[in-house]
Structure 1
Amino acid sequence: MPRNPLIDVLKGFAIILVVIGHASQWFTADDRTNPLYVTIYAFHMPLFMFLSGYVNFNTKGQISLSKRFQVLVIPFFIWFLISAAYHGYILNSEKVYHYLSQLIYEPTKGMWFLWLLFWQCVILYIALKIKKNNELWAMIGLWSILVFTHRITGAQAIFYGLPELCWYLIYFSLGYAFHKYEEKAITTLRPFAWASLIVFPLLLLFPVEKTNFILYTIRLYTLALTGIAASYVLWEKFCHYQTKTKQLLKYLGGISLEIYVTHYYCIFLVPYIKTILGDNLYLNALVFTLLAIALCDVIQRLVQQVKWLRRLLYGRF
């Protein structure tokens, strides 16, 4: 299928948000109440999952789990070993086993996006086997089973990324459905998307306490959905014009996985930037993002020269 340039632009936009989001944590000692963090985390990973669902659709209704395993799971564990070497305990078998067990139990301690995306692909694979032409209904059924399992067992009984899987599978499925029925879906999306440009910032201005579970949940999902829709329609409009920004975002979208797994190691830049620029969060986050993405690009260009290394680190064939 021909590659949709808008999807690459959106992936480029999303990976920039990922880097800025982490910068907002690192420059504020993990203050998750700052406006930059709150705005980005309201929708950026649901957007990434939506795009992942989009690109996993194909007209043949096929998905190769062996390839997904090589592309997602192997790099997930390879980057754990790199982290172990980076933190100096790679030769301590007890520590390696301890942290590896923690990682499998709680994938958010590592490159969790790769882990969750693989299991979403597994669910899609099962859904296609159950009902190839109505796989979306099968995915809804499988999602219901996951949610039920999580609710009756609790996070302490079964974790292994299950809460995150329940949350993100919705957006993955929506992206898949959107691609499958794109011509019809786009006519519905555009009016909703333009309205989202107003609804999204309004929802940010009116937080809801977690104690009000129903309203809190509705707001959470609405923020994510309006953020996705608003991003789509804005960048769709932008893509009508051939600009250097569009080309840059397309390029970054094509190496979004490389940036995702590498930018964590640019955290060493944080104290230097703070020393030079002071405590201006927005300026610090901007400078860090520019430097980190540039470094990630240099690293991935070097890695791409070694076939076996790019396969291990980035799942690139």
Structure 2
Amino acid sequence: MNSRIEYIDRLKGFAILLVVIGHFIECNVVKGYLHPLYSFIYFFHMPLFMFISGYVAKKYLKVELAKPKEAFTFINKKIRSLIIPYLTWSLLIPMCFLSYNFKFDLFSRFEYLIFHHTYLWFLTTLFYLSLLFLVYEIISKILLKFKGGRILCITILYITTMFLYHIFPNVVIKSIFGYFPFYFLGVIIAQFKRAEDLYCNKIAFGIFTIAFLIIPVHFNYFETEFYRIIKAIVSFAAIPTIYYLSRFMRWNTIIDNQIQLWGRNSLVIYVTQWNLLHIFTINLPLYTSTFSLILVSFILSLFIGYACILIGNVIKYSPIIDLLIYGRKSK
């Protein structure tokens, strides 16, 4: 599909900006994970990205994935756009450019990349969720004759994922299990107009916005079971708020164009920014005021993001490198 949907690019642009700001705080503030701004962002920014991914997967789908040929094409595309960049940044680049401290053991390295998280964990989690989406598309065709067949299919897949997590409780399956609801929320909103009308209307926007802005103020972000529940609540409130603003709000043309530019380059920014952030470090103290940190992190995150886009535009001139680093197929 060549034409792009503007509000989706806005959503992606806003989400990737939050990712860069969050990583900036993590890399540049002493014990940045304790800062309120970090906590606020980390409550919802990756669930938002997963929602967008599920929404895009269904919204842009124009083929019958139940057909073997289309299913193979779908898997091939996901390997190209997600797994190849993941392996390049996690394996080839460290081996070629960081060889002075990179111990190469093919088996152990692949084992680590498959069963553990790296800073590019989002790519592998999204790949596995995309495979579950493929299974959903295939099974839901069989269950169409039953009322609520699609919801039943999602429920079965979620229970299966939960079962696997309890049998094999590693971080990869935990991540798939944790982000499954947000990814498939995006699928449902894209597929069912009624669901979108119920979840993303003006009244819901007002209620969810209040919850989204108030709840995170009273909690810091920590990886505990209680805070995962709070994170889920905040995320389910944040998603319709940001979706509604991206789709229905009138935007300044200049700002809108830049947000969409970031959205179109979200993958480029995501895989590149972590390395740039480790080049430019300023070590701000934890007691930095929230306003000052917002100002500094926003300005420097813009610089990092545009640097990533520039790098991506240069890489385009080499189709092979572009494929390896960003998973993009030359036109």
The TM-score with structure 2 as length reference comes to 0.83
- The answer for the alignment partner of 2:238 in structure 1 is 227
Task: Pick which of 116-125 and 138-147 moved more.
Answer: 138-147
Q: 1:109 aligns with which of 112, 118, 123?
A: 118
1:285–1:145: structure 2 CA closer, same or farther, 3 Å change rule? same
The answer for the alignment partner of 1:88 in structure 2 is 99
Is the 1:124–1:139 Cα contact (8 Å) retained in structure 2?
no
Output one character per residue of 1:251-293: Cα deviation in whole Å (capped at 9) or x when no partner: 1100100000000111244335869xx9953343223202211
Superposed CA RMSD in Å reads 2.8
Aligned-pair distance for 1:27? 1.4
In the comparison of the two structures, how many residue pairs are matched?
307
* 1:129 maps to 2:130: no
Tell me if structure 2 keeps the 8 A contact 1:28–1:281: no
- The percent of aligned pairs where both chains have the same amino acid is 26
Spell out the pairing of 1:47-66 with structure 2 (5 A cutoff). 47-57=48-58, 58-62=61-65, 63=71, 64-66=74-76
Instruction: Give the superposition deviation at 1:187.
Output: 4.2
Aligned partner of 2:215 in structure 1 is 203
Change (3 A) 1:90 1:217: closer
Does the 8 Å CA contact 2:40/2:221 hold for their aligned counterparts? no
Q: Is the 8 A contact 1:9 1:235 kept in 2?
A: yes
Matched, 1:71 2:91: no
Q: 2:173 is matched with which residue?
A: 162
For residue 139 of structure 1, the aligned residue among 154, 164, 182 is 154
Partner Cα separation in structure 2 for residue 212 and residue 68 of structure 1: 31
Residues 129 and 176 in structure 2, CA contact (< 8 A), matched pair in contact too: yes
Conservation of the 8 A alpha-carbon contact between 2:8 and 2:52: yes
C-alpha deviation, 1:3, in angstroms: 2.9
Assess if the C-alpha contact under 8 Å between 1:42 and 1:223 holds in 2.
yes
The answer to which of 141-150 and 187-196 deviates more is 187-196
- TM-superposed CA distance for 1:200, in Å, is 1.3
Describe how 1:296-315 pairs up with structure 2 within 5 A. Answer: 296-315=308-327
Contact 1:13 1:253 in 2 (8 A): yes
Aligned counterparts of 2:172 and 2:223: Cα–Cα separation in 1: 24
Opposite residue 94 of structure 2, the aligned amino acid is: S
Structure-1 residue corresponding to 2:33: 32
- Give the aligned residue type for 1:289: S
SS for the counterpart of 1:305 is: coil
Following superposition, the deviation at residue 135 of structure 1 comes to: 4.2
Residue 260 in 1 paired to residue 270 in 2? yes
Three-state SS of the structure 2 residue aligned to 1:161 is helix
Post-superposition, which runs of at least 4 consecutive aligned residues in structure 1 deviate over 6 A? 208-212
Read off the aligned partner of 1:112 and give its amino acid letter.
Answer: W
Q: Which amino acid aligns with 1:193?
A: F
Q: Structure 1 length as normaliser, TM-score?
A: 0.87
Q: Which secondary structure does the structure 1 equivalent of 2:163 belong to?
A: helix
Q: Deviations over 1:199-240 (max 9, x none)?
A: 112211333898995x655422110111111111222233x3
CA gap 1:135/1:68 in 2 versus in 1, 3 angstroms: farther
- Distance, in Å, in 1 between the alignment partners of 2:176 and 2:53 is 14
